[in-house]
């Protein structure tokens, strides 16, 4: 599949799943908007890499969803460079444990800002451009939006809200804009240390008995983008992990 002149905005695009989506979509012909919060070096390197392949095909925008963000500034940069937007991928997410015995408002705000406030208000800001292109929004949710992850109660709650956002926006923005979600399972191990025993235990509960990768997320994403009769749906890309939760 090769597209011409279509534009995809990916939040949290500097590394991991976000960077893979950007690289893959660019290979498919999309012009790319890389959002980042603080990973300026990684974002700059990725932008240079993509522009070396196809000149003027990638720009970057900075925003911290934990702060008061001027979402309109992001839209202005997209308009100035491409004057259109076809796909918004709400991928950016904070992920860390929260012990309820010493939970503080800052941790709560970080998790809800990155997983709920940011995607919601960015989707709102992108609405006019996406409406013009009959575009689509894809949220990266989490299988733990349905079954909470031990020691991550606030994160699980935020992802549950993110999942409901998919369904609510799909109803509000229809018929011009489709909104869907992807709930990854075991795709990339967390940045924090995880023991080999824990990895083995997690893999033992996956029906397909293997770890996934970023390619599986992009395959689901591009299917949702290309199928014009799917909206309000969340696909679990988890190898059957959710069967044994």
**Contact (Cβ atoms closer than 8 angstroms) between residue 89 and residue 221:** yes
139 burial (CB, 10 Å; 0-12 / 13-18 / 19+) is buried
**Which has the closest alpha carbon to 18: 70, 60, 76, 67?**
60
Catalytic residues: 16, 142, 155
Torsion sign, CA atoms 65, 193, 158, 128: positive
Rounded Cα distance, 88 and 85, in Å? 8
**Contact (Cβ atoms closer than 8 angstroms) between residue 202 and residue 107:** no
């Amino acid at each position: 599949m090769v597209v011409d002149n279509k534009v995809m905005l990916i939040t949290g695009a500097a590394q991991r799943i976000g960077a893979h989506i950007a690289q893959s979509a660019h290979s498919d012909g999309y012009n790319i908007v890389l959002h980042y919060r603080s990973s300026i070096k990684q974002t700059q390197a990725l932008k240079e890499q993509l522009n070396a392949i196809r000149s003027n095909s990638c720009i970057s925008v900075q925003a911290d969803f934990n702060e008061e963000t001027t979402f309109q500034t992001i839209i202005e940069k997209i308009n100035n460079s491409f004057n259109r937007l076809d796909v918004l991928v709400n991928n950016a997410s904070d992920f860390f444990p929260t012990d309820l015995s010493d939970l503080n408002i800052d941790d709560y705000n970080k998790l809800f800002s990155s997983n709920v406030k940011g995607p919601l208000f960015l989707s709102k800001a992108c609405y006019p451009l996406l409406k013009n292109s009959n575009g689509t929004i894809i949220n990266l949710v989490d299988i733990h939006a349905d079954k909470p992850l031990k020691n991550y109660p606030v994160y699980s709650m935020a992802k549950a809200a993110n999942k409901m956002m998919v369904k609510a926006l799909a109803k509000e923005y229809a018929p011009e804009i489709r909104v869907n979600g992807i709930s990854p399972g075991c795709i990339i191990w967390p940045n924090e240390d995880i023991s080999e025993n824990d990895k083995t235990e997690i893999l033992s509960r996956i029906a397909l008995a293997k770890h996934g990768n970023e390619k599986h997320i992009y395959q689901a994403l591009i299917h949702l983008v290309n199928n014009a009769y799917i909206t309000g749906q969340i696909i679990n890309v988890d190898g059957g992990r959710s069967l044994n939760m």
